[in-house]
Chain A
Amino acid sequence: AQKITQTQPGMFVQEKEAVTLDCTYDTSDQSYGLFWYKQPSSGEMIFLIYQGSYDEQNATEGRYSLNFQKARKSANLVISASQLGDSAMYFCAMREGYNTDKLIFGTGTRLQVFP
């Protein structure tokens, strides 16, 4: 069965530094998509970045980049130049297959950015 694993319950980073949030996944399908969402204390899930399983280049969106290592089944999120407003929960999610859009989420990582 498909599964997303986020092994870091919490991470701390100093403002302006880069941080990597880990995500590994398990799927037997060849076609899948990987997402990262940010959930601030207000509760809304904010889409950050997407990587398709057939994408040859790592996805980037502003300060966010996804370090996609297909053979290792990992899709780590890298946040560069951390800001205080980056403090939130971060969830990795997977959409398995071509004809489904059901998302499977990990348990999340709480990121704290300090001055």
Chain B
Amino acid sequence: EAGVAQSPRYKIIEKRQSVAFWCNPISGHATLYWYQQILGQGPKLLIQFQNNGVVDDSQLPKDRFSAERLKGVDSTLKIQPAKLEDSAVYLCASSLFGATGETQYFGPGTRLLVL
């Protein structure tokens, strides 16, 4: 079974530029998550989708971050415009139904550096 795929793996941009990350979850997984992991910290949930609907986006900085999952499969996370403090690893995860006790499976992440 293929795991969670993410691209690109690395991205370097200048502040005020825009950037987009792509995630393809494990086949059949209804729930998809985007996490932000700043150096030296644990991941923090940005947004959670159940199929193509948003379940939780309470920690997403909506003035600059946006995410979509149009067909309930792939997802993109966009930052526009980027700030220096957005430098982090962006992790995508998926789970089958998003139920309590269910494991979230993570992708390799996208390392973003904003100069």
Contact = CB atoms under 8 A, between A and B. Distances in A.
B42 A105 contact: yes
Q: How large is the interface on A (under 10, 10 to 19, 20 to 34, 35 or more residues)?
A: 20 to 34
B109 A47 contact: no
Contacts of B102: 101
Given A52-B101, A105-B44, A43 B95 contact: no
A105 B48 CA distance: 16
Contacts of A108: 41-42
B111 A43 contact: yes
A14 B48 CA distance: 40
A69 interface: no
A55 B47 CA distance: 29
Interface string B26-61: 000001000000001111110010000000100000
Contacts of A35: 103
Contact of B100 (A42, A46, A95, A106): A95
B89 interface: yes
Contact of B45 (A37, A97, A102): A102
Given A44-B106, A45-B106, A33 B44 contact: no
A101 B42 contact: no
